[in-house]
């Protein structure tokens, strides 16, 4: 049944809530070629076993929200120019410089979901901000927000790849948007720039070699063969994004919660190594860096310091 709230009105409300883009997709089969199963079978998910456990619901959103008719995908720019780093400093991925994006986006995403429920009597919604069993990137492409770059990230002309995604599943039906054609062409800058060769083929990333996975999700020892490639990264990695032509001329985010906290973009390696548990919580509470835990961040800083010493001859 068509919704009394039209797509234009929904997008207008999304803009009012300060989202930079909003797209709508019909709730059809999101993975007809079973790409996710192939990726998992290759072991590219490393030890992120929750992806295997939730494979079926990721592919079929009806298992998460029975009767879903529409998938609304929202984008919020988080780009900020990186402050210059100095000797003895590491690098943190841009998305983790400020407040945890899950917390920042939760309120406006839920506000839009409530708006739908209020105007579409009897409708139900389910919200996801990169934490539920939803294939956000695939839905973003289906909803016309952008295309998948060769580094497996969603790209959009005016936003590049530096934006967060929020998804709302709803039983309300809206006119849907058309996908945007792939605009990467023959470019392979992101593939060539990956320091650990984690992009094994266009749009296929092996998490086991990915610096972001190793410095955040891996709670054990990082394989020795990857140490040099990690360079000075202590949390995440932006190498494949920084070289992307679509990220060359971006406007900065208007969300103040995404602005870098003091010392978070390029933290002192020595200070990280000397952190106590209390120091760690005081400095990083409420930010994505908490996911690495203190021992993980310290492990990363030790590798980065050794790399810096090797490069400078210290």
Query: Tokens 């494979």 appear where?
Result: 55
Angstrom distance (rounded) from CA 99 to CA 256: 9
Catalytic residue chosen out of the listed positions 47, 60, 130, 228? 130
Judge whether 177 counts as a catalytic residue.
no
Task: Work out whether the CA dihedral 155, 157, 159, 162 comes out positive or negative.
Answer: positive
Q: Are 275 and 283 in contact (CB under 8 A)?
A: yes
Q: Which residues are catalytic?
A: 130
């Amino acid at each position: 049944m068509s919704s009394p709230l039209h797509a234009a009105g929904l997008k207008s409300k999304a803009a009012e809530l300060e989202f930079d883009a909003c797209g709508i997709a019909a709730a059809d089969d999101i993975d007809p070629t079973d790409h996710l199963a192939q990726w998992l079978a290759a072991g590219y998910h490393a030890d992120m076993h929750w992806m295997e456990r939730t494979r079926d619901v990721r592919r079929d959103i009806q298992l998460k929200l029975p009767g879903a008719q529409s998938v609304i995908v929202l984008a919020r720019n988080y780009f900020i120019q990186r402050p210059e780093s100095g000797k003895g400093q590491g690098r943190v991925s841009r998305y983790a410089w400020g407040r945890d994006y899950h917390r920042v986006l939760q309120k406006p995403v839920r506000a839009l979901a409530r708006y739908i429920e209020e105007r579409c009597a009897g409708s139900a919604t389910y919200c996801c901000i990169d934490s539920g069993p939803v294939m956000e990137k695939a839905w973003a492409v289906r909803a016309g927000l952008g295309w998948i770059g060769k580094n497996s990230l969603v790209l959009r002309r005016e936003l590049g790849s530096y934006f967060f995604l929020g998804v709302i599943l709803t039983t309300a039906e809206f006119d849907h948007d058309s996908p945007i054609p792939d605009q990467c062409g023959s470019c392979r800058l992101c593939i060539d720039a990956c320091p650990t060769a984690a992009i094994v083929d266009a749009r296929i990333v092996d998490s086991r070699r990915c610096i972001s996975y190793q410095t955040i999700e891996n709670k054990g020892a990082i394989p020795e063969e990857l140490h040099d490639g990690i360079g000075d990264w202590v949390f995440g990695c932006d190498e494949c994004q920084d070289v992307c032509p679509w990220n060359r001329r971006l406007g900065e985010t208007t969300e103040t919660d995404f602005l870098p906290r003091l010392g978070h973009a390029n933290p002192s390696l020595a200070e990280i190594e000397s952190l106590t548990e209390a120091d760690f919580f005081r400095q990083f509470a409420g930010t994505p860096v908490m996911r690495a835990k203190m021992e993980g961040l310290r492990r990363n800083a030790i590798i980065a310091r050794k790399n810096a010493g090797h490069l400078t001859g210290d």
